[in-house]
């Protein structure tokens, strides 16, 4: 046992894994922020009375939620460069990290839009009527009255979405992103034994998710006291 610990729990391996865990967190955070923007747009489209806007938003949400994230990642990694090359005749090779963030953001946006839509529709109808009575336009009403209340409702689910994105970032190892899982696989390749580094990665994933979950629980308790 001592030999195994000395072989795998080295400063180099631990640093490599923690640095890669930081990449996983960074990608997940960027995807969450971009997904939130897409979610707001998607939710606005879903509740819009304009048939075209509503239709576009509905297609986006249903297609993304109805297909695996792995398929979406591979589409952006393999499909989009091929399409751009066919149209422009020029090579298009974006960074795998950019591809990862874009694919995960688009996926997150579809799920976030449904969270936001539900939160918006959960706002008391009296708030809508009061806003109309005050003469506020639709954009002003959404910006100052409805969305602030809706965002308060979606904070706990968004923390859960962040946890999901951290775990789903492991899928990006298939396109060469050196996140936490890929780092563990790299160590396994060097040492000819995948079990210890994968267990180490599991511990880091677990530590991250438990820490964020604890933060989410405390946040919910604080929000419940403020209501």
pLDDT at 144: 75
Question: How many C-beta atoms surround the C-beta of residue 5 within 10 A?
Answer: 10
pLDDT at 126: 75
Question: Which H/E stretch holds residue 177?
Answer: none
Residue stretches of the chain with pLDDT short of 50 = 1-2
Question: How many C-beta atoms surround the C-beta of residue 42 within 10 A?
Answer: 25
pLDDT at 5: 59
Query: For residues 163 and 213, is the Cβ–Cβ distance under 8 A?
Result: yes
Query: For residues 184 and 197, is the Cβ–Cβ distance under 8 A?
Result: yes
């Amino acid at each position: 046992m001592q030999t195994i610990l000395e072989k795998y729990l080295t400063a180099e391996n631990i640093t490599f894994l923690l640095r890669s865990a930081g990449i996983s967190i960074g990608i997940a955070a960027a995807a969450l922020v971009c997904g939130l923007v897409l979610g707001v747009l998607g939710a606005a489209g879903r509740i819009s009375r304009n048939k075209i806007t509503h239709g576009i938003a509905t297609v986006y949400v249903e297609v993304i939620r109805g297909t695996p994230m792995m398929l979406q990642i591979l589409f952006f990694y393999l499909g989009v460069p091929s399409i751009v090359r066919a149209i422009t005749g020029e090579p298009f090779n974006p960074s795998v990290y950019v591809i990862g963030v874009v694919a995960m953001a688009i996926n997150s946006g579809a799920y976030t839009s449904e969270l936001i839509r539900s939160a918006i529709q959960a706002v008391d109808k009296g708030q809508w009527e009061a806003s109309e009575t005050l003469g506020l336009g639709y954009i002003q009403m959404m910006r100052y009255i409805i969305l602030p209340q809706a965002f308060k409702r979606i904070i706990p689910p968004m923390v859960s979405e962040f946890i999901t994105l951290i775990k789903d970032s492991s899928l990006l190892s298939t396109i060469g992103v050196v996140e936490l899982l890929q780092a563990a696989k790299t160590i396994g390749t060097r040492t000819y034994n995948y079990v210890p580094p994968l267990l180490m990665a599991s511990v880091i994933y677990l530590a991250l998710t438990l820490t964020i979950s604890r933060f989410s629980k405390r946040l919910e308790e604080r929000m419940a006291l403020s209501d």
